[in-house]
Structure formats: structure tokens, C-alpha cells
Amino acid sequence: MLDAVSETASSTSAPIPQHRPRPATGPGGPGRGPLTHVPLSRAPLPDWDPMLPPWAGSWEPAWAGGDREHSADGGHGAHDGHGHGQDGVRLHVRRTPGAGDETAVYVHGLGGSSTNWTDLAAQLAPYAEGIAPDLPGFGFSAPPGGFPFSLDAHADVVAGYVESLARPVHLVGNSMGGAISLLLAARRPELVRTLTLVSPAMPDRRPDPRRLSDPRMALAMLPVVGAPARRRLARLTPEERALQTIRLVYADADRFPRHRLAEQAEEFTARSAQQWAGAALARSTLEIFRSWFTPGPGSLWSVAPQVRVPTLVVWGTEDRVISVRRARRTAETIPSARLLVLPRTGHVAQMERPVTVARAVLGMWEHVADARW
């Protein structure tokens, strides 16, 4: 079984070329191991409980008095009970109580929410408090007026929230949240102790309908045929939409706990009642595509070498959304990164393989603390 203890993980698979030695330019210095040498912690972890419900959420301000460029009314709107307040952007946040002085902040992907981190945060709770915000326009976080939904704007919001915590954090991002976390770590390294990227949304321009939860979504954007496609999509039940999503992001959808499918369906139902939900998803999707075609210094490939914090990159061999072929380039481009590729795993390794991912993340934390990364 994949979720097992071992001292190190050597992540190689058919799509990944054999390791090529590279100079050690990161904080680990010359003693840093090879790219795919990822230490898995032997520290005790809680038993994985697939019945664990999401932690209760609350609204918290995202700005600590810094840049408020993307907040509603310049950051001076009155609190309306739906995510806006005098501090500008307010986020719906789920906190996992943790031991010690460490804090991990978890950033979800496109169409996801803070509930994507329930299991991983629980696994790491003996070693760090877990904080998982809903990004503006996702989960229960209403976007402020005029929010542009770009990766940069999302990164600004997360940076403002982390700044409000008044301590550096272990930053963990998946998919779109991985790209956001990459931007934050590159631009605000003083806020980040370590960085973990789970299938980050690095540029992947493959025109493959299998990357969509429903291939009719591509037709829905076209003239003439778009209208009937949108009507058919609108007739899907929340349960059908949830199952489509799980089939897309899991290598094996049967591993997804059945009771959580009902939770996902309830969340889809709640989001569909929000007028901003559809536009937030569509515009965030467009902004991801826009970032993939941005050349020069604005490209994510140009940002990655600027990340100087210790970094763990995790990818699943069966990732249909962002190809595992992007894994090695991503890890090689970040100076102090190592790469863990998990077989029989899809786009959300933190959900599909929470124990293994937790051991890899904790292994990085331990090695960074001992100056061995």
C-alpha cells in the first residue's frame, strides 16, 4: 500500500526522465541530496480517519494594513456579514487545531475550497496548526467588488492574510493554489518557511477534453452549440457534478469516501446559490490560461527560479489536469526543490494519498530544521 512508512522516497516513473545531476544552489548547499531523494518522516502520525468532517469555518480579514489594491472600496467598506469588512477582503477560513509553534497555510485549487485539506491538515496537526482559507469567489468567501481573479490578485490576498498572522508559515498549495503559493514565495519570502506544491498549475497548454470534468464544458464556450451544451450542463444534479469532479482529479475515484461525495454535493448546492460563484470560476479559469501564455518575466517559469525557500514538489503519475511531465521541470527550476512523484495518484495527492504526502511534508520540515535540505 502506498501510504506506508519508509525512510526515503525515490520518485521515478515512466513519464519522468532519469535523474540528471544539478548544482546545489539552494540553502541546503553542496550536501543536499539528488532531486528525487525525498525524506519521509518516521514521526508518529494520527490514524487516517476518512470519516473526519471538515473543521468549522469563520470569517477573518485578509489584510494586515499593507497593499489593499484589490479590496472592495479601497479596503474601507463596512462589514456586511458576507465576507467584506473594514479590513477589505475577508476570507472564510477553516482552522485545524495543532500542537507546537508551527503554522501551515493550505491554498486550494480552481473550483476547490478549504475542505480539500481536511485530511492532510489532520495528519500534520501534531506538529502544526493548519489554516485553510477559501480564496475569493470560492467556498464561502465572497469576492470583493472589482476583484480581477488573476493569480497575482489571489497571491496578494493570501500574502495579506499570512502577513496578518505575524509569523512565517509553511505554505502548501495545490493546482491553482500551487501557482498562487509559488508567486507568494517568490515575492514575499519573509512570509514563508517552506513551500509545498502539489500538482501546481504550471503552464500546460494541451488541448485535451479529458482535462475537463465534463467534455461538454468546451462546447459550452462556443457559439451556436454553446447554448444547448450549457442547458444540458445546468441539468446536472449536485451529486453528478461532484462525482464528475472526483473522477477527474482522482486516479481511482473509488478511493474517495462516499459520505464525502454528499459533502461535496452540499457545497456545490450552496455555491450555486451565490451570484458570484459562476463568474469567479470562469474568470479564474481564464486568468490561469492567460498566465500560461504570458511570456518573459511574467511567466510562471520565470518566477520559479526566484523561489529561494526550501520546496517540495509533489505530483501524481495519473494527473489528468496538469501533466506529470511538468513535474521535473518545475522542481529543477526551483533552486532548493525536491520532487516526489506518486504512482497511481491523480491531481489532488493531498486528498488521495494524505499519509504519504504528510510524511513527505514533515520530512522536509525536519530536514530544514536540521539544515539538511
The pTM assigned to this predicted structure is 0.84
Using the predicted structure, report yes or no on whether residue 57 has a pLDDT greater than 50: yes
Q: What is the pLDDT of residues 217-244, one digit of tens each?
A: 444 455 544 555 455 545 567 788 788 8
Q: Give the Å distances, CA to CA, from 47 to 120, 258, 351.
A: 12, 19, 15
Strands (E), 49-191: 57-61, 84-85, 88-96, 103-107, 129-133, 169-174
Cα separation, 342 vs 344, in Å, equals 7
Per-residue pLDDT at 34: 86
- pLDDT tens per residue, range 101-119: 999 999 999 999 999 999 9
Q: What is the pLDDT of residue 213?
A: 47
> Mean pLDDT, the chain, as a whole number?
83
125 Cβ contact partners less than 8 Å away, ≥ 6 residues apart: 46, 96, 97, 98, 99
Q: Which residues contact 23 (CB under 8 A, 6 or more apart)?
A: none
Q: Taking residues 287-301, what's their average pLDDT?
A: 94
CATH of 8-205+296-369, one of 3.40.50.1820, 3.40.50.300, 3.40.50.720, 3.90.870.10: 3.40.50.1820
Q: 334-345 pLDDT, tens per residue?
A: 999 999 999 999
Longest CA span, the chain: 61
Angle between helices 176-187 and 151-164 (to 10 degrees): 60
Domain ranges of the chain: 8-205+296-369, 209-287
Residue 83 has pLDDT above 60, yes or no: no
Cβ contacts of 35 within 8 Å, gap of 6 or more: 19, 22, 328, 331, 332, 337, 338, 339
Radius of gyration of the chain (CA): 20
pLDDT at 307 over 80: yes
pLDDT band at 100 (very low <50, low <70, confident <90, very high): confident
- Rounded distance, CA 233 to CA 240, Å? 10
Cα gap 268→249, rounded to integer Å: 16
Q: What's the DSSP call for residue 126?
A: T
pLDDT: which is higher, 201 or 245: 201
88: phi then psi, degrees, rounded to nearest 5: 90, -125
Average pLDDT over residues 60-77: 47
Q: For 203, phi and psi rounded to 5 degrees?
A: -50, 125
Q: What is the pLDDT of residues 32-50, one digit of tens each?
A: 468 999 999 999 999 999 9
Q: What number is the average pLDDT over the span 281-304?
A: 94
Give CA–CA dist 198/179, Å, rounded: 10
Q: What pLDDT, on a 0 to 100 scale, did the predictor assign at position 18?
A: 38
